[in-house]
Every structure is written in C-alpha cells, then in structure tokens.
Amino acid sequence: MARHQVTGYKTLIYGKEEGRDVGAIIHLYSEGKIIGSCAFYTTRQVPVTYKSGTRFFVTFPIDRYADVIDLLRNEDPVYANFNEARGQGYLATDEEETGEGE
C-alpha cells in the first residue's frame, strides 16, 4: 500500500457516445509518471475500484467530478492511494488547521 503525492493531473471530458458509460477521466501523475486514474460514470451502476499492473482506477458517479477536480485544484499536497487488501482507492490531503479561510 504505497501513498503517492499527486504532482499533476490531466482531465478528459467525454461527449455522449453509444456504449460509453464513462463521462470523464482524470489521470493522476506523480513525478511525471501516471500512477492512477479517477473514472466518472454516467450510469447508476458504477464499477468497483480496481488496480491493473502498477496503475489504480478509482471509480465515481459523474456527480462527484466537481468534488475531485476541486480537491486537485485547491489543495496541496494531495495524495493518492490504493489499498489492495480492501480494493479501495482514494485521494487525501494532509491534516489542516481549522479556519484556514479557503
């Protein structure tokens, strides 16, 4: 279970296509290497988060896109992690002081 600091991201927002259930993807980078992706689904049934090789794929309903992009734009540092034992991926920040006024 390795925690990676996210040092960059790339986002893709898709138009509606026949057979495409993914509305958007955010690729996460650490030190210039892709470490994982957040996939946002337009369907009610969202596939489970998974890992393939060294990359992990955290899945969300499309209405969580704004939350994730806000976190990436406005927080520093941001970390990404995949817990293989639980099959759980997530993004996190460090502990912050209350009342920072963001």
pLDDT in tens, 49-73: 988 888 999 999 999 999 999 999 9
Q: 66 φ, ψ to 5°?
A: -60, -40
Q: What is the Cα 83 distance to its own chain's centre?
A: 14
Backbone angles phi, psi at 26, to 5 degrees: -120, 120
Yes or no: say if 79 and 89 are a contact pair by the CB < 8 Å rule.
no
Quickly state the pLDDT bin for 96 (edges 50, 70, 90).
confident
pLDDT in tens, 16-27: 877 779 999 999
Q: Give the C-alpha separation, 88 to 83, whole Å.
A: 5
**Where are the domains positioned within the chain?**
3-93
pTM of the predicted protein model: 0.88
The torsion angles phi and psi of 95, rounded to 5 degrees, stand at -65, 140
